């Protein structure tokens, strides 16, 4: 059984979810700038990071941090 059938994700989607999970933890645990977290998560552009983050978490990284930190 191929990996994508077992997990219902393509390899690209899986990697994006792992990167966003890391970024989500960093947004809560640190006060690092969002751009630094985006690049540390493996994204090469802020726009791609924001799009992937919004797709997975249904909010922006700034709103996510505000929801869980404030």
Q: What is the pLDDT of residues 11-44, one digit of tens each?
A: 999 999 999 999 999 999 999 999 999 999 999 9
- pTM for this prediction: 0.86
Ordered by where they begin, the domains of the chain are 10-69 (1.10.10.60)
Q: Higher-confidence residue: 55 or 7? A: 55
User: In 3D, which of 62, 43, 44 has the Cα closest to residue 54?
Assistant: 62
pLDDT-derived band at 1 (thresholds 50, 70, 90) equals: very low
């Amino acid at each position: 059984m191929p990996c994508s059938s077992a997990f219902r994700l393509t390899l690209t989607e899986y990697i994006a979810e792992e990167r966003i999970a890391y970024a989500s933890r960093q947004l809560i645990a640190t006060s690092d700038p969002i751009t630094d977290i985006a690049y540390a998560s493996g994204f090469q552009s802020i726009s791609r990071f924001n799009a992937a983050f919004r797709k997975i978490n249904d909010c922006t990284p700034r709103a996510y941090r505000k929801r869980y930190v404030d």
